[in-house]
Amino acid sequence: MHDATRIIRSTLSPVVPGTPLHSGPVFAAPYHTPGDPADALYSYARSHNPTWTDLERAIARMESGQLASGAKYRASALVFGSGIAACAAVFSAVLRPGDIVVAQSNAYYNVRLLLQQYFTQMGITLRLTPTLGEAEFGLLEGARLLWIETPSNPTMTVCDIAALSEAAHKAGALVAVDNTTCTPLGQRPLALGADFSVASDTKSMTGHSDLLLGHVAVRDLELKAQIEQWRTMTGGILGPMEAWLALRSIATLPLRLERSCHNAQRIAEFLSTRADVEAVLYPGLPTHPGYEIARRQMRFFGPVLGFILHSKAAAESFLKQAVLVTEATSFGGIATTAERRARWGGDTIAEGFIRMSAGCEDIDDLIADISQALDAVTGPLIKMEQE
């Protein structure tokens, strides 16, 4: 069965005559639990909820697949109230004082901040490394966890998940992959050998810029139990209404992701022809240093791209001139958004760096708008330089 069919069908309720095609949200804190609570499927809402169950089953089906060995596996998924809550659950469930974490120096800023400002204070050793070449391999000795983000946000660096997972496992380390940019439809980290697939489903997974949630998926049931225990004890949970809206949104993921990734590819190719754009960062471009790896491990190159204009002023003017590009943080929505990413600090990027998330608008309209915005900002400057 093809991915699109499987995803859409996974959001339907069981076939019972006279019942709705889609289950509604279940609002409950306690459930009826006479006698032994272990005999009740649901007992208290901090631990479980039927709407979570439906959403987690749909995500787990997306995360399931086949390993390089040919062995098929069935993934398990757990949902959280945000993407960073999902990340924190992995760190908290598997790390103990004295453990070592290897992570990318250009991974998502708040993940690095969480590790640097909290977990290192609890006795965790953090080894940060750039994601170029094979820098991580030399730092894996003695590590408990390798944290990979690919493509990284915002610089779109690509890591070889299979090679890094093999090396990490030989060193005795677990591997977690932040798969937010791609979603499990675009890339399956568990199939490539990772132990955890983590994502902020606020982004492309639900795609309408109106929900906050995340998930962790695993192949190993013991790891699932550790993550689930952490969620129950700390309460980083998802509300039933958000879970229901997420399940409804996931049904359109195949349509949204195909369109937005197509648009991102076309925009990246167009920007590459512009003399006023200093660099374009997108793994779908053959000129990208990670293109061959991306082509091997990704089914879609993602909706996010970066490009660099010559200055902070040029980037800010571009965003003001663009009509069909909404200035906003986050990414993965149906509307095209962008921002001058350096305004937040924390990442080693140029002042004129723009992170753009391609939406689902008509590509000809988007390119025409981007073109006019660039012309309005950099056209006069180029003319002056030529004269």
Contacts of 284 (CB under 8 A, 6+ apart): 261, 264, 265, 268, 291, 294, 301, 302
Tokens for 240, please give them.
């039933």
pLDDT tens profile 194-238: 999 999 999 999 999 999 999 999 999 999 999 999 999 999 999
Mean pLDDT across the stretch 262-290? 97
3-class secondary-structure state, position 82: coil
pLDDT tens profile 337-364: 999 988 888 788 899 999 999 999 999 9
Asked if 62 contacts 185 with a C-beta cutoff of 8 angstroms, the reply is yes
Q: Please name the amino acid found at residue 73.
A: Y
Contacts of 186 (CB under 8 A, 6+ apart): 204, 257, 261, 298, 299, 300, 301, 302
Calculate the CA dihedral of residues 100, 104, 109, 110 and round it to 10 degrees: -30
Could you give the CA distance from residue 238 to residue 20 in angstroms, rounded to a whole number?
23
Mean pLDDT across the stretch 129-136? 70
pLDDT tier for residue 173 given thresholds of 50, 70 and 90: very high
The region, left, alpha or beta by phi > 0 then psi within -120 to 50, assigned to residue 276 is: alpha
Q: Distances in Å between the alpha carbon of 116 and those of 102, 109, 112, 135, 266?
A: 12, 10, 6, 20, 38
Asked if 194 contacts 160 with a C-beta cutoff of 8 angstroms, the reply is no
Q: Give the residue among 174, 176, 178 at the shortest CA–CA distance from 144.
A: 174
Contacts of 304 (CB under 8 A, 6+ apart): 151, 153, 154, 156, 181, 264, 331, 332, 355, 356, 357, 358
Does the global pTM surpass 0.85?
yes
Q: Please name the amino acid found at residue 122.
A: M
13 or 361, greater pLDDT: 361
Could you count the other beta carbons within 10 Å of the beta carbon of residue 361?
Answer: 17
Task: Please report the domains of the chain, with CATH numbers, ordered by start residue.
Answer: 3-250 (3.40.640.10), 256-386 (3.90.1150.10)
pLDDT tens profile 84-111: 999 999 999 999 999 999 999 888 999 9
pLDDT tens profile 43-82: 999 999 999 999 999 999 999 999 999 999 999 999 999 9
